[in-house]
Amino acid sequence: MVKGSVRKARKEARPAEIVEAAFQEFAAKGFLGARVEDIAARLGVTKGTVYLYFPSKEVLFAAVLDTFGAQMRRETDDHVAELHGDVAERLEQLIVHLNVSSASDQRLRSLLVLSIAERERFPEVIERQFRATVDHAAELCLSLLQEGAAAGVFHAHVASRNTALTLVSPCLWLVLSGVMHPNEPSDVDGFVAQQLRLLRDGLFREPSAPSL
């Protein structure tokens, strides 16, 4: 009983371990730059072992994206399910959450990097991946904007995809900033506070300024 279960547990855990290690290597070096041998070395095994579980580097890469893409989407959805309060409060919570995740989640950074860098080599996987993260976030935003507009809380014209994308865009900056300067943590709190303030007050001291 116990005898078999040790190996079995190992075997069942391996694919996830490999995907995790591969994620790190791919994120750091890109698809071509990552060596299967180095992925294996992260687990303390040799490259042959990787091929026991994945038939090729390509398939492994796709598994990495699918695994973490699904994971990110699930986590976002879980968070959305917990939003509470009126529509303005919920939108604020969503924006804060997206900003905080973008700034702090290493996986998100890596996914974006890989999606951009390898889009030509794995178009379908990455398309799926991209829809599951950036597009998905925009859609969540859009729902709340529509709800708020319908309730008369927001201006009617903000119930648009363009607004949703505008609200989500600062997260791209956070992700990008994390990618380019991983050692200079962003001031997320200040950043998101400023975003919310802009949304509330706009740029101008005089409300409904004529120009711009």
Partner DNA sequence: TATGAATGAGCGTTCATTCAT
Partner DNA sequence: CATGAATGAACGCTCATTCAT
Instruction: Give residues in contact with its own copies (CB under 8 A).
Output: 28-30, 32-33, 86, 88-89, 91-92, 112-113, 115-121, 126-127, 130, 134, 148, 152-155, 157-158, 160, 162-163, 165-166, 168-173, 176, 179-180, 187, 190-191, 193-205, 207-209, 211-212
Q: For residue 12, which amino acid is it?
A: E
DSSP state of 70: H
Q: Does 191 bind DNA (CB under 7 A)?
A: no
CB of 59 to DNA, least distance (A): 8
Binding mask 29-68 for DNA (x = CB under 7 A): ---x-xxxx--x---xxxxxx-xx--xxxx----------
Which of its own copies, DNA, none does residue 4 bind to, with CB < 5 to 8 Å depending on kind? DNA
Contacts of 128 (CB under 8 A, 6+ apart): 65, 66, 69
Q: What are phi and psi of 154, to 5 degrees?
A: -100, 160
Q: For residue 104, which amino acid is it?
A: S
- Tokens, residue 63: 């598994």
SS3 64: helix
Query: Do 133 and 72 form a contact (C-beta atoms < 8 A)?
Result: yes
Minimum CB distance to DNA smaller for 50 or for 175 = 50
CB of 90 to its own copies, least distance (A): 10
Q: Which of 9, 10, 74, 201 binds DNA (CB under 7 A)?
A: 10
Burial 128-161 (b: 16+ CB within 10 A, else e): bbbebbbebbbebbbbbbbbbbeeeebeeebbee
CB of 124 to its own copies, least distance (A): 12
SS3 203: coil
Q: Binding residues for DNA, per CB under 7 A? A: 3-4, 6-7, 10-11, 14, 32, 34-37, 40, 44-49, 51-52, 55-58
